[in-house]
Amino acid sequence: MRYVIIRDDDTCALTPVACLEELYRPFLENGLPVNLATIPRVNTRAVWRDGSAEGFRAFASGQEPPHLALAENPGLVAYLKTNPGFRLVLHGYEHTYLEFQRPDAADLARRLDHGLELFAQAGFPRPSTFVAPYDQLSREALREVTRRFPILSTGWFELRRLPVTWWPAYFRKKIRRTPHWRVGATRLLTHPGCLLSHQRDLIRMLDTIRRTLENAPLTVLVTHWWEYFHRGQRNPAYIEVLHQTAALLARESDLRVITFDDLLSPDAALAAALRTTGLE
């Protein structure tokens, strides 16, 4: 059995329900859970390094207040609650540029704690997992995140950014060549880049996904809802690739889609697979 975790980033108070519904209904109908990396208090003026608007502002009017907490979009909150196939994980705090690459531990701690509070205020259970904006974390952020979350999902890990006490575990991971690893009770997951991305070749995308899943016991498949509606323009060809991915995941009997939460209470088959990935 091979396992897949679907991670869609950047859901926030600016996300139209209709986008999530169109993208993920085929997943939910097939019992394929989707982890939404959700921004608790989105910066409605967030920009990329070059000053252009963040992709998740695709449907924003520009008239919103500077920040919007998740609970300020009650329609979205109600929709997420009526569809338990969506599992929320915490994605930064405001999602300003490289927000968790900053070195100020006290500020990072405040962002994490308030983010968790805002999830609770919106009526969601405490998330098990943290995802940093742009998958970038400073050494201080790694410390503060792993104090609060049993699971961190990111792109890759660099020795120079790791707390020194993590180095022995990191070298063991390198020697064992496992994709994921563990420091104490904290599960640290990597992913093979955004295989589902509007900047990649749509024709070859499904095949790349299929080959990646074939070759790994546990893959985190990352995408971003707004890329299917870039600058407010619906991209039917790209949406079709996502839906073909759902069909592939539903059809292949030796592929199982799980949630991040499932890693904390694995059944026997998953536990066996996790031992080969570096997570157990």
Q: Which residues bind Zn ion (CB under 5 A)?
A: 9-10, 133
Nearer to Zn ion, 194 or 246 (CB): 194
**Which residue is nearest to Zn ion, using beta carbons?**
9
Nearer to Zn ion, 130 or 166 (CB): 130
Nearer to Zn ion, 115 or 133 (CB): 133
Kindly report each contact of residues 244-251 with a partner whose C-beta sits within 8 Å and lies 24 or more positions away, as own/partner: 244/206, 245/196, 245/206, 245/209, 245/221, 246/26, 246/27, 246/30, 246/32, 247/26, 248/206, 248/209, 248/210, 249/4, 249/27, 249/30, 249/32, 250/30, 250/31, 250/32
Which element (helix H / strand E) includes 36? strand 34-38
Write down the least CB distance from residue 102 to Zn ion, Å: 16
Dihedral angle computed from the Cα positions of residues 74, 34, 128 and 58, in that order, rounded to the nearest 10 degrees: -50
Write down the least CB distance from residue 208 to Zn ion, Å: 22
Pairing of β 67-69 and β 41-43: antiparallel
Write down the least CB distance from residue 176 to Zn ion, Å: 30
Write down the least CB distance from residue 40 to Zn ion, Å: 12
Write down the least CB distance from residue 135 to Zn ion, Å: 8
Nearer to Zn ion, 10 or 227 (CB): 10
Q: Number of H helices and number of E strands within the chain?
A: 8, 11
Nearer to Zn ion, 92 or 278 (CB): 92
Write down the least CB distance from residue 247 to Zn ion, Å: 26
Residue type, 220: V
Nearer to Zn ion, 10 or 140 (CB): 10
The angle, 0 to 180 degrees and rounded to 10, between the axes of the packed helices 202-214 and 236-251 is 20
DSSP type of residue 38: E
Please tell me whether residue 39 adopts helix, strand or coil conformation.
coil
